[in-house]
Chain A
Amino acid sequence: METRRVYRDYKDLKKIGRPGVKTDELEVAPAMVSPMLRASWKFARQWAERFNQELKPEKNRVKQFLKALIKKFS
């Protein structure tokens, strides 16, 4: 009997998480993101956080930055 692999890597499985375990929603690229951006998602997230650091700490704009990225890449 053959075993079919669902996930390429164990890390991917870890990122998606398991039912009942909370994960950072920005850690994985959301669905419908272009493959080009998906490939550099970690980079995009890292620099969005870096830009966010230079703004006032009261408001977190990482999500806003990433949304703009997704829009531009789609």
Chain B
Amino acid sequence: MVSHKEVEDMIINILREEFLKCSDETLEKYEPQIKSTVRWYVSTLPRHIASSEAHDLEAEAKLAFMDCLKTWDPRKASLWTYVSVRLKGAMQDYLRKRGTDPVAGIYEYVSSAANVYMAFNHQSIAHEGIDKMLHLESAMEDFTDKEQAVIEGYYKKDKTFKEIGKDIGLSESQVSRICKEATMKLKTALKNPSEDEDEPTISPD
């Protein structure tokens, strides 16, 4: 015995099949709205990504639209309500796959802009000083081996204190203390690159 709900589902599925045969028409009808959504999304991206990816994003949005038609249930929401939410997600997924995720892009952009700003605006600082500010490695030259290992492990390799401790044969709390001290030293070294050489180094226990 087929229930009323099952019959309704069957009807919707058959109607959807027929509807999909004319999906080109739907795409044509909604094209202006898709384009305006893409334009809005591109406007929120950093310029270097927006200029290179705008064309691909539009194609990706259209593909996502066609996918949405296959899963859209008219009983739950209108087509555009359903589609508009998924278009943005599809474009974000595309950028993430391409490795041009706006978040990662913004990070690179800001860090490079900050370096350039520092290089041009700290004219009073000597060339070696600028070099120390820009390159962490040179600021860490005075550090002991353990301090260097902790700083590199924690900030560069994203390891936990426990993992670093295992590598260099220290306990988690010792590593935490060394990391705190080394970070403080690093901050002072980066703030006052010229005074750094005169300061006595704090040896870890």
A72 — nearest CB in chain B belongs to which residue?
B14
Which A residues are CB-close (under 8 A) to B18? 51, 61, 64-65, 68
Partner of B74, one of A36, A51, A56: A51
Q: How far is the CA of A68 from the CA of B12 in the complex (A)?
A: 12
Task: Given A40-B8, A51-B74, answer yes or no on A68-B14 (Cβ-Cβ < 8 Å).
Answer: yes
In the complex, per-residue mask of A8-43: 1 if CB is within 8 Å of any chain B CB, else 0: 000000000000000000000000000011011001
Q: Are B25 and A56 in contact (CB under 8 A)?
A: yes
Which B residues are CB-close (under 8 A) to A68? 14-15, 17-18
Q: DSSP majority for the A interface?
A: helix
Q: Does A55 interact with chain B (Cβ within 8 Å)?
A: yes
Q: How far is the CA of A51 from the CA of B18 in the complex (A)?
A: 9
In the complex, per-residue mask of A53-67: 1 if CB is within 8 Å of any chain B CB, else 0: 011100001001100
Question: How far in angstroms is the closest Cβ of chain B from A53?
Answer: 9
A40 — nearest CB in chain B belongs to which residue?
B7
In the complex, per-residue mask of B3-36: 1 if CB is within 8 Å of any chain A CB, else 0: 0100110011011111100100110110000000
Q: Are B29 and A54 in contact (CB under 8 A)?
A: yes
Question: How far in angstroms is the closest Cβ of chain A from B190?
Answer: 60
Q: Are B14 and A54 in contact (CB under 8 A)?
A: no
Partner of B12, one of A39, A47, A72: A47
Total residue contacts A-B, CB cutoff 8 A: 52
Which A residues are CB-close (under 8 A) to B29? 54-56
Q: Does B79 interact with chain A (Cβ within 8 Å)?
A: yes
Q: How far is the CA of A43 from the CA of B6 in the complex (A)?
A: 13
Counting chain A residues whose Cβ lies within 8 A of the other chain, the interface size class is 10 to 19
Question: How far in angstroms is the closest Cβ of chain A from B86?
Answer: 15
Q: How far is the CA of A39 from the CA of B3 in the complex (A)?
A: 12
Which A residues are CB-close (under 8 A) to B74? 47, 50-51
Kindly list 18 other residue pairs between chains A and B, CB separation below 8 angstroms, not including A51-B18, A68-B18: A36-B2, A36-B7, A39-B4, A44-B15, A47-B11, A47-B12, A47-B74, A48-B15, A51-B16, A51-B19, A54-B26, A56-B29, A61-B18, A61-B22, A64-B18, A65-B18, A69-B15, A72-B14
Enumerate the 7 nearest inter-chain pairs by beta-carbon distance, A residue then B residue, closest first.
Answer: A51-B19, A56-B25, A50-B74, A68-B18, A55-B25, A44-B11, A65-B18
